[in-house]
Chain A
Amino acid sequence: MSGTQDENRYEELEERGLSRRAFLKGGGALASAAFLAGAGLGLTGCTSDDVEGSGVDGSADGATISGANFDIYDTDVLVIGAGIAAMFAAFQANGEGAKVMMVDKGPYGFGGGCGMNWDQELAWPDVPPTEYTPGKGYGFSGLVNQKLEKNVFDFVGTTNEAVDQRYIWVRLGNTTWMREHDGSLENLMSNGTGYNLAQRGFSRHINDMLEGENVTIVDRTMVTDLFVSDGVCVGALGIHLPTGRYRIFRAKATVTATGGTAQMYGWLRTHPYSMNTPDNTGELDAAAYRHGCSLVSCEHFKLDLISVVPASLGASFNAGIGADGNHLQYVCDKDGNFFMREHVGYDISGPIRDAVLAGRGGEHGGVFIDLTSDDAVGEKKLRPCYARNIQLWKDQFGIDVRANGYKIPVALEAFEHAGNPVTDENLMTEIPGLFSHRGSGVGAGTLGRGMTYGAYAGHRAAEYAGAASLDSVDWTAAVEEFGRLEEILTRETEGSLRPHEIRHAIQEAFYAAHEPGKDAAGLQACIDELERIKAEDLPRMTVSNKTRVYNVEWKQAIENYNILTIAEATARAGLMREETRETHYRTDFPEADDTNWKCNVVAKLVDGQMAVEKVPIVTL
């Protein structure tokens, strides 16, 4: 920045009550607090020249919010998220010399899906590939951008050290993985399947390792919007949850790696029909969408089976008992037929839906797992993460799953959602400066993809940051966003609804249209209901407690807008795709239709409405 530009910039900001001390370059220290025009803490209600109606007066001479505080953080590469892809992006960018700041919604190391530290299974190609084959790279899906998949393949390389993902995890802190009795590494697959599979990985070791690097980690901070200035992404905006203070993150390049949103998938006593985390509510994807990005592959989830009784532990991976494509021996229908034993392939959702729709399931809307035979448990029979719950259920609830005749009710749960902003072959989204590690295709959410695509995003972001500059930033967008959030907190209205009521309405409408299968009428009904919730219920949503300290209701209210956007995109894309492919299951179009549908479906904001359209798969 030139000296004159600096002075003009600071004068303009000082007019708005910002102090020069508010700006602190690089990582590490928190910036000192800055007050917007109008001093004083605590909002008692907005005066008409401050905040009006549902937002802020965004006039050209700058909007103001009375009395709000915010902190400013400044870095080269901002990584939003702290899971596998985010960590690999951070390691990569940091290792390439960029100054990296990571911002996490949860407590660092314990937030998001990764923070569940769940006994992770890792899959990677059996024979190290010598050259790239479209659809068979780290994208793990036939719908991926092939130019991008090839770029990632070339970037990762073909050395043993690059391809052996189990080794990479050990290098980043993991210990022995699962061992056979002779002490050798266990491999659950290989033998001609084309993939290795290892279990007993624990991602928290990688979190610990990253803490030892020169990366600044800011946690318990919910990013609510991207910071876009003159059409360029210059960072992010959010709330520090413990204090309710607003935070602005300025960065030359931003990587969003915040996982998939599955929070719309129904409600089962404590959680949706999803093992995924309540943290992942689609903030960044919805923000990207609002700023004009196309969301791709929303109609796809990854699913497997998990217990729904006891309902208090429903859809919990680590307290439940379930089954996925690698462990199907004891899945049975209501008559006890073990109908999945010949199944080939990881995804099981199709045959499970077939069985349920044919009336072979139970009242709970799913099938069963029968562990009562002598050979059902023990080493190599049941994943350790499920097996350990046999004792838990006995101890806590007196349920004995091995008792004669007991069948565990299980249902399909959506553990990953594929929807994310479209990117080019360098993982940059339609907004310059914003990188998203996912791109397209159902493979999003696979650990191996998170590692490789995440690292590639970090690489590209570091490269971009090296050439970018942040000379002048228009603060209007930040002030407007904080005004939006303030309004959600302070809103008072007739016939008010609490955030959880709206949350459950979204979940109920969505689940009814997606399980056990989708069809046009059901999806349209879901879309109509989501539109109604958007138009009638969301404006009546109020937060009954108005203090700022860790306000869970306020958080839930903000999240609701985003969950609804992602749910709507999912339903609309699902309605458009008239075929059955991978996990997208249409009862009215039960076959795959390559002629018409070997393509991607995107959802985009057009003239204030969500529009869906087909786009061709990007091939080499």
Chain B
Amino acid sequence: MKYDPSVDAEPYLKDYEVPITEHMTVLEAVIYIDENLEPLAYDYSCRGRVCGRCAMMLNGTPCTACTTAIKDQANVIEPLKGHPVIRDLVVDKNETHRRIAEVERRVRGAVLSIPEVEAPVDYENVFLKIDPLEWCARCLSCNAACPALAAAPDKYIGPAGMVAIALRQYDPYDDGDRVLQAVQEGMWNCIMCGKCDEVCPAKEIKHVETWTELRALATGRGLLEKKASALPYGG
């Protein structure tokens, strides 16, 4: 999809013929178009699904272009859903990224000491829970696929934000009430459909399993209310 807000009235689809190569990725196809057919605005960095910058929609499904194979067929490539489009395939994720950074920041009263860092942690219930979540690239593919977020963005932070909250829930050095925070950020608005698990390029992350655990903890504490809409009236 092409869109230059300084000259175009609205986004439009344009057809390009791209010769298929062995093991071709979406990123490769985009680079081919830009170098051989017409300048295209796109962004990428790590080429390994850890920076998240190349996330875009392939045939309606969000993906990281760098690690997603593209088939020899008609394909539709569009900017990642859910963010303002700067140009063509470049979107502005700033608002979501600032929110995630905010909820992810450790809550702690006392300064950490070396003995605390060196102390053994529970391998099964702490390390093995945190480690997969560290792979989150904040590409926001999950958010782009999430029907609950699409239906009510004012009632749910979205899966990427929830992954950040879950990480701090398991973080042994965090003192924040992350279960309460999860509920406050709309955890109960998630419909447990598993789309996040499907589209996330970090296969280590088990979203639905994580949401199940958070729900159990919230239920145990009687924190059962869904987040209300932020609408002042008519909500």
Contacts and interface: CB of A to CB of B under 8 A. Distances in A.
Given A170-B112, A200-B134, A397-B23, A111 B97 contact: no
B48 interface: yes
Contact of B127 (A112, A183, A318, A391): A183
B11 interface: no
B53 A107 contact: yes
Nearest to A181: B123
Contact of B131 (A200, A212, A312, A316): A200
B93 interface: yes
Contacts of A319: 47-49, 66-67
Interface in A502-547: 544-545, 547
Interface in B88-117: 88, 90, 92-94, 97-98, 101-102, 104-106, 111-112, 114, 117
Contacts of A118: 46, 48, 50
A315 B50 CA distance: 14
Contacts of B31: 270
Interface centre among B22, B69, B93, B117 (most CB of A within 10 A): B117
B232 interface: no
A553 B21 CA distance: 24
Interface in A541-562: 544-545, 547-553
A160 B112 CA distance: 13
A122 B49 CA distance: 21
A283 to B, nearest CB: 16
B46 A551 contact: no
A179 B51 CA distance: 24
Given A164-B114, A200-B134, A212-B105, A106 B45 contact: yes
A259 to B, nearest CB: 12
Interface in A367-394: 388, 391-392
Contacts of B90: 242, 550
Nearest to B120: A183
B157 interface: no
B82 to A, nearest CB: 15
A184 B120 contact: yes
B101 A549 contact: no
B69 A211 contact: no
B77 to A, nearest CB: 15
A439 interface: no
Contacts of A204: 138
B41 A116 contact: no
Contacts of B22: 310-311
Nearest to B133: A175
Nearest to B5: A549
B23 A310 contact: yes
B114 A167 contact: yes
Interface string B1-29: 00011110000000000000111110110
Contacts of B226: none
Q: Is the interface of A mostly helix, strand, loop or mixed?
A: loop
A142 interface: no
Contacts of B23: 310-313, 396-397, 399
Interface residues on A, range: 35 or more
Contacts of B127: 176, 179, 183
A553 B97 CA distance: 26
A301 B191 CA distance: 50
Interface string A105-139: 01111111001111100000000000000000000
B172 interface: yes
Interface in B187-212: 203-204
A335 interface: no
Contacts of B40: 552
Interface residues of B, number: 70
B101 A211 contact: yes
Contacts of B87: 242, 549-550
A271 B24 CA distance: 14
B50 A279 contact: no
A277 B121 contact: no
Contact of B112 (A167, A278, A553): A167
B112 to A, nearest CB: 5
A160 B114 contact: yes
A117 B50 contact: yes
B28 A270 contact: yes
Contacts of A164: 114
B52 interface: yes
B41 A552 contact: yes
Given A319-B67, A552-B40, A107 B48 contact: no
A167 B39 contact: no
A27 B105 CA distance: 22
Contacts of B167: 175
A506 B234 CA distance: 61
Interface string B111-155: 110100110111100110011001101100000000000000000
Contact of B45 (A108, A115, A161, A311): A115
Contacts of A111: 45
A242 B114 contact: no
A202 interface: yes
A270 B67 contact: no
A349 interface: no
B105 A166 contact: no
A396 B98 contact: no
Contact of B173 (A170, A269, A500): A170
Contacts of A312: 21, 23-25, 27-28
A559 to B, nearest CB: 14
A200 B111 CA distance: 22
A336 interface: no
B34 interface: yes
Nearest to A552: B41
B63 to A, nearest CB: 10
Interface in A155-194: 160-161, 164, 166-167, 170-171, 173, 175-176, 179-185
B105 A116 contact: no
Interface string A277-319: 1110000000000000000000000000000001111011111
Contacts of B94: 107, 219
B106 A173 contact: yes
A586 B105 CA distance: 48
A110 B48 contact: no
Given A115-B45, A550-B41, A270 B112 contact: no
A205 B130 CA distance: 13
11 contacts: A115-B51, A116-B51, A119-B134, A170-B173, A176-B131, A176-B172, A184-B118, A313-B67, A316-B66, A388-B203, A552-B34
Interface of B: 4-7, 21-25, 27-28, 31, 34-35, 39-42, 44-53, 66-69, 86-88, 90, 92-94, 97-98, 101-102, 104-106, 111-112, 114, 117-118, 120-123, 126-127, 130-131, 134-135, 137-138, 167, 170-173, 203-204
Given A242-B87, A313-B25, 19 more contacts: A106-B45, A106-B53, A116-B46, A118-B46, A181-B123, A182-B123, A183-B121, A207-B101, A208-B104, A211-B101, A270-B44, A311-B22, A312-B24, A312-B25, A318-B49, A319-B47, A396-B68, A397-B69, A549-B4
Interface of A: 106-112, 115-119, 160-161, 164, 166-167, 170-171, 173, 175-176, 179-185, 200, 202, 204-205, 207-209, 211-212, 219, 242, 269-271, 277-279, 310-313, 315-320, 388, 391-392, 396-397, 399, 498, 500, 544-545, 547-553
In order of increasing CB-CB distance, the 4 nearest A-B pairs are A318-B48, A183-B120, A319-B48, A310-B23
